[in-house]
Amino acid sequence: PPAPAAPLSSPADSPWSVEDILTEDDEQDRVPLQKLKLLGESEELRGLLLNPHLRQLLLTIDQAEDKSSLMKKYMQEPLFVEFADCCLRIVEPPEKENILPE
């Protein structure tokens, strides 16, 4: 018999969904999909991701059991902080009035 189709809410290639890891308290921290797509379009972010050291840091976090303590450690790494700041600027641009005129 054919294998049962995977439910639409969890693609077969993804063992977890956002709903599995976000509690209601975390909901305000969720980044809308449109904003996440901007990350893929950022030349600055792509430039940072060319750095093999940063890529290794991100892989290590991705594979770690205790991600939060590793993140605390990495927030001491200037390269990781630069990456995090770049991501934040893209998904949460600073308020217009705080930007100095060119």
Half-sphere exposure of 88 (CA within 13 A, CB side): 9
| Each residue's pLDDT tens digit, 42-60 | 999 999 999 999 999 999 9
Q: Kindly report, residue by residue over 55-99, the tens digit of the pLDDT.
A: 999 999 999 999 989 999 999 999 999 999 999 999 988 776 555
Cα 49 from Cα 58, distance rounded (Å): 10
* pLDDT confidence of residue 70: 92
What is the predicted pLDDT for the residue at 20?
A: 63
Task: Please say if the pLDDT value at position 6 is more than 60.
Answer: no
Given a cut of 60, is residue 2 above it in pLDDT? no
Q: What's the angle, vertex CA 83, arms to CA 78 and CA 13, rounded to 5?
A: 135
Cα separation, 93 vs 11, in Å, equals 31
Global pTM? 0.64
